[in-house]
Amino acid sequence: MGLLTVLKKTRSNEKSMRLLVLGLDHAGKTSIIKRLKGEDVTTVSPTFGFDIFTLNYLDYNLNIWDIGGQKSLRAYWRNYFEQTDGVVWVVDSSDEDRLEDCKQEFDKLLRKEKLMDATLLILSNKNDLLSSKSVDEISAHLGLELITRKYKIVSCSAITGTGILDGIKWLVDDISSRMFALQ
């Protein structure tokens, strides 16, 4: 996000944030959003393309873009990067077979210039499953110790709801401290 975007938001007194929710298919992106909205998470269909939701959180309107994670759709993710304030990267911590694919896509995402200023939240989802990896294991696999930008990784479960609000609170606090500090 450029300085002009920050100034526009400051001048208009707009308190909205644009968040992208990305990750491989079946990581739990839509389930996490449904949990945030207070909806039933037992029936979730894969997202083909994208869905947009607006949630009111504290004094902010969160414009959340849930982008499908199927391999055929990942090349189109870049079409949604413009004016993004925060990225939520969702990892299926129980799917060891796809962790390398997850790392490759995550690495590509980190190199995108339009996302360089976006706050990064990594949700290590499905911690309610016995086969799930710990946050430390996911962090090591993704190589988070090498990242120079601000980020946070949070263990969560879309089914139980644990960890999700903690992660969103951190994300909103970080974005608001950058964008709305002059208000």
H or E segment to which residue 88 belongs:
strand 86-92
* Calpha distance 25→22 (Å, rounded): 9
Cα separation, 127 vs 66, in Å, equals 21
Which of the residues are catalytic?
70
> Is the sign of the CA dihedral 107, 112, 116, 122 positive or negative?
negative
Let me know how long the chain is: 183
Give the sign of the dihedral formed by CA 156, CA 161, CA 162, CA 167: positive
